[in-house]
Chains A and B, each alone.
Chain A
């Protein structure tokens, strides 16, 4: 069966990884083999060098002092291993042994070989009849016609090298196979997260469904980090898209009511007299103003909820900000006969978007004053607690019925008691969304006095 290679097969990362891995593996194995071969080869050569060196050491002695001097030199060798490792022999004209060092070691070799021509060659080999040992010998003819021989026992050099070569060639093919298989395995395993990633990405591109996730093998390697971050990114995109969708739905829904009101007012004005028309037009103007504010606030909430809100974070003094807001509502509170008191730690800095945070505080104070009857009190307190800043807004107002506590944060939700008040029903949703965009949280509870108590918690250091 023909394997059908995909197009650009060679460009695939797994193929390239395999090739690289195998290449490096095979190359380093080859280098190792060659170095070993050279090492063995040079060991063999060293043997000859050692023999030559010893021969040139013995030769002058043999020339001058004959057999006796040779024997004396052998005995003088202090190192016993050196004394026994070298074969020293003096051969007479008729191929008779005149001297043999350590005869018990060397007698087993067969010296009976053709006479003179043998000594013409520098190197010759003697084999042992008993155990096949090999002796490598260098010879030198002395002036008196005798021959001095120095030798060393060796393994058969050629045989060693030959066997080494054979082994080497025999291992090359498995080596290449192991290299290729290893490389492929490594590449395949290492790239699995990437394959999963591109599968998921592909499916998202094809289906536009953002709920798919890449399997997370919970390891801590770089590729799994990529998987984790990729999944986080998908979640973020999903939230963003969902948020945008629901924001769009909400905005469309929420705008229908005021638009209907404008329409009704305009229709009625068509039939009315001049004074009624003027009145209707003014109504329309006010209604469009409310619409604009509502649209802006809805967009703010959606942006904050989906994380699309751009916060320009700076070091903000919360206490100073509270003072600013309280000053803004000074007259409103005074008119309503509500006392606003501030009890804040002096200079409390935290990272926040100044104008957004101001808006949040304003909404809470606005709310508190609105729902507190004449003669009531609104208390604002800021304090630092461990790693967070707490802002409390308490009032002695109407409070929030328990069944409404969770719903007051919903968009456009207006409790029964608040329907008589002017407002959009968006203030608290915005508070919650903006505080959550600051990595903070909001809480609401009922005071012992029956009024409500709003608590904001903001981190002192921005969460990463």
Chain B
């Protein structure tokens, strides 16, 4: 899997590249829009992470040029602008997902992986398993070690999301986006409450705890 990172800030670029390499990706880097465009056109990438503010050619124009050249590499836009307008503009230009600075690397990684899965049209399984947990998406049933768990719809949605990202940290923002479909941050600990409820049902009666909290980053379901 090859990923192109177009980012002019050296610190951020090396941080992102290091993380992506550790996650098993091959990474190429361009520190300006023109080089980025040239690289994206000359070799096939599985995904690209592109900053909006770039020297020589800005990120949105870069994406636009890629799309007019029929290059459909999935693109994650990085931006320091946060407003809904900017997000919409980014996605309309041809970006596939949008992440605002400051961001956590776990979130970036999860989003990149989701983009690649989506681009490869991975078939959605009807059954997801992780450790001794298994959920049946059609019958909306959850089993842990053969025991049926009774989950409410939001709890089910959260567990499904954690299981699809097994062993990976997902951020609160990502959970809100997936479970409720909102792109705003409720000021209170809505996610914490949901996680602790899920924990009560999934982990309380078992010695091995599966749901872990990563302070400042998010949550993960760990089976290894």
Residues of A within 8 A of B (CB): 281-286, 288-289, 292-293, 296, 299, 310, 312, 328-332, 335, 355, 358-359, 362-363, 366, 369-370, 422-424, 427
Which residues of the partner chain B approach A362 to less than 8 Å between Cβ atoms? 184, 186-187
* Complex partner residue of A331 from B85, B183, B194, CB under 8 angstroms: B194
**Distance in Å: Cβ of A438 to nearest Cβ of chain B:** 16
Q: Which residue of chain B has its CB nearest to the CB of A426?
A: B187
**Distance in Å: Cβ of A302 to nearest Cβ of chain B:** 12
Give Cα A38 to B193, complex, Å.
Answer: 101
Give Cα A281 to B104, complex, Å.
Answer: 13
* Interface: B188 (CB within 8 A): yes
Which residues of the partner chain B approach A366 to less than 8 Å between Cβ atoms? 186-188
A328 with B193: CB separation less than 8 A? no
Which residues of the partner chain A approach B180 to less than 8 Å between Cβ atoms? 328
Which residues of the partner chain B approach A286 to less than 8 Å between Cβ atoms? 215-216
Contact with A along B156-192 (1 / 0, CB 8 A): 0000000000000000000000001011111111100
**Distance in Å: Cβ of B81 to nearest Cβ of chain A:** 10
* Complex partner residue of B188 from A282, A292, A358, A369, CB under 8 angstroms: A369
Known A-B contacts A286-B215, A288-B102; the reply to A328 vs B85 at CB < 8 A is no
Q: Which residue of chain A has its CB nearest to the CB of B101?
A: A292
Which residues of the partner chain A approach B84 to less than 8 Å between Cβ atoms? 312, 355
Give Cα A362 to B188, complex, Å.
Answer: 9
A335 with B186: CB separation less than 8 A? no
A–B Cβ pairs within 8 angstroms, 15 of them? A281-B216, A282-B216, A283-B216, A285-B217, A296-B82, A310-B85, A329-B188, A329-B190, A332-B189, A332-B190, A332-B193, A335-B196, A355-B84, A366-B187, A422-B188
A289 with B187: CB separation less than 8 A? no
List CB contacts (< 8 Å) of B68-91 with chain A: 82-85
**Distance in Å: Cβ of A307 to nearest Cβ of chain B:** 15
* Interface: B29 (CB within 8 A): no
A331 with B187: CB separation less than 8 A? no
Known A-B contacts A282-B216, A284-B216, A331-B197; the reply to A292 vs B102 at CB < 8 A is yes
Which residues of the partner chain B approach A293 to less than 8 Å between Cβ atoms? 185, 187
* Complex partner residue of B189 from A282, A285, A312, A422, CB under 8 angstroms: A422
Give Cα A369 to B187, complex, Å.
Answer: 12
Query: 8 tightest A-B contacts by CB?
Result: A285-B216, A282-B215, A366-B188, A286-B216, A331-B193, A332-B193, A282-B216, A362-B186
* Complex partner residue of B193 from A283, A335, A424, CB under 8 angstroms: A335
Which residues of the partner chain B approach A363 to less than 8 Å between Cβ atoms? 187
* Interface: B154 (CB within 8 A): yes
The interface centre, meaning the residue of A310, A328, A358 with most chain B CB atoms within 10 A of its CB, is A328
B216 with A328: CB separation less than 8 A? no
The interface centre, meaning the residue of B184, B185, B187 with most chain A CB atoms within 10 A of its CB, is B187
Give Cα A369 to B154, complex, Å.
Answer: 20
Which residues of the partner chain A approach B83 to less than 8 Å between Cβ atoms? 310
B184 with A332: CB separation less than 8 A? no
Give Cα A296 to B217, complex, Å.
Answer: 19
Which residues of the partner chain A approach B82 to less than 8 Å between Cβ atoms? 296, 299
Contact with A along B187-214 (1 / 0, CB 8 A): 1111001101100000000000000000
Which residues of the partner chain A approach B184 to less than 8 Å between Cβ atoms? 355, 358-359, 362
Give Cα A293 to B104, complex, Å.
Answer: 14
**Distance in Å: Cβ of B95 to nearest Cβ of chain A:** 19
Give Cα A284 to B215, complex, Å.
Answer: 10
B183 with A355: CB separation less than 8 A? yes
